[in-house]
């Protein structure tokens, strides 16, 4: 039994990389250098574990495939969050500017709007009256002879919607206000309830400037200006461009994308790009 106990001690010493206190023959405690040498010598008798080059390459290949499949989705989601933040910010900025303009210049039906069929410059009063309350680095009103930088505008399904945008105002953060459209010079057009009973006209903002994609519902968004404030297109009480009919990515028609603005602002997502079964009274996320 005694001999067996000594053998067990020797085995344990090998496992932990040291020698028994008597060195196995009563020699006493060994020095640190001798113990380390013994550890290196003894562990040579045990197998070493690791990965082969082939195994490492296969693992890296799998990681690369997974990243290639998931990274585009992650990037797109991040870009959508950036768009939501920018749109909410510009909505707040322009709304405040419009309210200040009403406060200082009176109700907008008295600003001198003219229908588009009567005069292009009849749209200028909207732009001119909000300019003092915005950080504008350049403007090009309809009655000015200047470079308005025209570019194509696309519907949400990616097809050209038949119109072109013009730079009418460049804000300090790079956002473009690309013109206005007058529905009623007296601001009496009815496109829903509440403030939408007194619509004056509409205007576009392009969050990325004239850069692509230049697509309504992706980087271009549409707002009404009414007697009392700015209203995003596509609210739950709108009758002209309701969200459920005008914000479907696979639908055909020049107007598709117009009804997305309110959704982005109030639901804080762009999930309409990924599914078509969203609604104000039902599902609000994919």
| Beta strands 151-154; 160-165: pairing state | antiparallel
* Same domain for 200 and 132: yes
Provide the domain limits for residue 145: 74-273
CA end-to-end span of the chain, whole Å?
A: 73
Report yes or no on 37 lying in a domain. Answer: yes
Instruction: Name, in order, each residue with C-beta under 8 angstroms of 168's C-beta and a sequence gap of 6 or more.
Output: 127, 139, 140, 141, 142, 148, 176, 177, 178, 179, 180
* Same domain for 83 and 24: no
* Same domain for 18 and 128: no
Min mean pLDDT across 32-36, 166-170, 252-256 is at 32-36
pLDDT of residue 121: 78
pLDDT of residue 123: 84
Report yes or no on 54 lying in a domain. Answer: no
Report yes or no on 24 lying in a domain. Answer: yes
| Beta strands 199-206; 151-154: pairing state | unpaired
Cross-strand partners of 171 = 136
Report yes or no on 69 lying in a domain. Answer: no
Report yes or no on 50 lying in a domain. Answer: no
Taking only the tens place, the pLDDT of each residue in 270-284 is: 999 999 899 999 999
* Same domain for 177 and 108: yes
pLDDT of residue 199: 97
Domains contained in the chain, number: 2
* Same domain for 143 and 18: no
* Residue (of 170, 161, 226) closest to 198 by Cα position: 226
pLDDT of residue 2: 46
pTM: 0.75
Report yes or no on 285 lying in a domain. Answer: no
């Amino acid at each position: 039994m005694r001999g067996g106990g000594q053998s067990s001690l020797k085995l344990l010493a090998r496992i932990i990389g040291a020698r028994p206190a008597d060195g196995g023959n009563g020699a006493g405690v060994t020095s640190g250098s001798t113990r380390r040498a013994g550890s290196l010598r003894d562990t040579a008798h045990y197998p070493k574990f690791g990965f082969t080059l082939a195994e490492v390459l296969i693992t890296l290949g799998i990681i690369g495939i997974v990243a290639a499949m998931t990274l585009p989705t992650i990037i797109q989601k991040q870009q959508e969050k950036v768009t939501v933040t920018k749109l909410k910010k510009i909505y707040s900025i322009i709304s405040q500017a419009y309210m200040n303009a009403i406060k200082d210049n009176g109700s907008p039906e008295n600003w001198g709007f003219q229908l588009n069929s009567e005069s292009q410059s009849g749209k200028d009063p909207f732009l001119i009256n909000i300019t003092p309350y915005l950080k504008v680095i350049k403007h090009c009103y309809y009655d000015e002879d200047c470079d308005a930088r025209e570019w194509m505008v696309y519907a949400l399904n990616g097809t050209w919607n038949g119109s072109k945008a013009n730079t009418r105002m460049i804000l300090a953060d790079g956002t473009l206000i690309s013109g206005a459209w007058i529905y009623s010079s007296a601001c009496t057009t009815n496109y829903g309830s509440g403030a939408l009973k007194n619509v004056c006209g509409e205007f576009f903002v392009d969050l990325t400037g004239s850069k692509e994609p230049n697509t309504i519902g992706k980087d271009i968004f549409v707002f009404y200006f009414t007697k009392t404030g700015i209203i995003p297109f596509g609210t739950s009480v709108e009758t002209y461009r309701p969200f459920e009919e005008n914000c479907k990515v696979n639908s055909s028609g020049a107007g598709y994308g117009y009804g997305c603005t309110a959704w982005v602002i109030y639901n804080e997502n762009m999930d309409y790009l990924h599914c078509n079964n969203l609604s104000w009274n039902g599902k609000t996320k994919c």
